[in-house]
Structure 1
């Protein structure tokens, strides 16, 4: 066996196999889920997707050119925050839609969309908080195994007898932290991004209200 192959076998054994079922069944799948969610958020929680540049002016233009009915139909096909809020606001059956009422409906809709985004990214935060707890469970389990070996050996166990329990303890701790640290960091990044995007959407909403004749909707 080559040195490289021996290193690979040793590395796999030390950081995966020796961790036991806690690593194989729980922590490895959690790491895969964390990576998958991070990639998904990177693709979906983007400025050009949720708050495209000039979306406020585009929405005003859409309503002026196509009218309310056709404009709502066109905007319902869009997935950005401002368009979704606009569809909800201008679909309301009001006899008179004042600027203040329009602003309040926009704010309510943006808050609901923000909560929806926060609920989505919360999954990676959950993983980041569960992983170290699972790792800690593995640490306790591994130390119990090690102490049982000490008892079985009458207080004088050999190093090889202790190795299994200590490996479980250390490897599960390692994987718990390896999953948790990036997950919590990614969650913080995307939470800040969502807050920033919602703030930008609110500015676009103000532009719609300031530049669009609300009275034309009544």
Structure 2
């Protein structure tokens, strides 16, 4: 069901004497009304997508954390890196950890590079999450303007009615034209308000989860040698 349908049905029911249906209200709003309805469908899809993506179990899977903790406590850095690169375990946590471990292994500074490498990889992943919410923020911003555009177009039509009737347009006819013109503004606000709330919620959710990811990675990498020893000196060095 379209997210706009309940609101349009309510409007139609509030004016039983007019005999105006929800579809007629949309038709009266013209192209801007259809554009707002299309945006409402996109916004609803984005909300559902982010509700799924921004779950703790999606970004910081407990089983992945347990396995990485076991590998890193044993000093098996190469095994942890391979585990992170496995597509089956792909998540924000493994992408950050893999980037950090890979970079510090290639650096001449060894494990001294680990912290900065993890911070940069973490910033990249968090920025990626933020960018994914930008479309929702854009919809929240342009929906009221689209509604206002539809209303302005409708008001121009109402004044054309006055002009065509030589200034003797019936008040009920003008009221009907203006009422239909204002529908698009209402539709735009009906979309923008929940979209803004969802956008703010998801941004705050990203903040909270990014802090939790950082704390988890700090706990995972705590057993690693940060004294500047050569990478791979853990399990690989012991076996040598």
TM norm structure 1:
0.86
Paired residues in the alignment total: 211
Q: Is the 8 A contact 2:96 2:122 kept in 1?
A: yes
Greater relative contact order structure (CA < 8 Å, 6+ sep): 1
Summarize deviations over 1:8-42 as a string: whole Å, max 9, x none.
97441454232222112x11100000001000101
Is 1:58 the counterpart of 2:85? The answer is no
State the SS of the aligned residue for 2:82: helix
Match for 2:90 among 63, 70, 79? 79
Q: Is the 8 A contact 2:25 2:180 kept in 1?
A: no
Flag structure 2 segments of 5+ consecutive residues without an equivalent.
Answer: 1-11, 234-240
Higher deviation after alignment, 80-89 or 36-45: 80-89
Is 1:97 the counterpart of 2:107? The answer is no
Is 1:36 the counterpart of 2:42? The answer is no
- Structure 1 residue 160: Cα displacement: 5.4
Q: Which residue of 2 aligns with 1:49?
A: 58
User: Measured at CA, do residues 141 and 154 of structure 1 come closer, stay the same or move farther in structure 2, by a change above 3 Å?
Assistant: same
Q: CA RMSD in A?
A: 2.5
- Structure 1 residue 73: Cα displacement: 2.2
Higher deviation after alignment, 11-20 or 178-187: 11-20
Write the distance in 2 (CA, Å) between the matches of 1:175 and 1:154. Answer: 32
Q: Is the 8 A contact 1:56 1:207 kept in 2?
A: no
State the SS of the aligned residue for 1:157: coil
- Structure 1 residue 118: Cα displacement: 0.5
Flag structure 1 segments of 5+ consecutive residues without an equivalent.
Answer: 1-5
Q: Is the 8 A contact 2:28 2:181 kept in 1?
A: no
TM norm structure 2:
0.78
Q: Is the 8 A contact 1:131 1:176 kept in 2?
A: yes
Match for 1:22 among 28, 32, 37? 32
Q: Which residue of 2 aligns with 1:3?
A: none
- Structure 1 residue 88: Cα displacement: 0.5
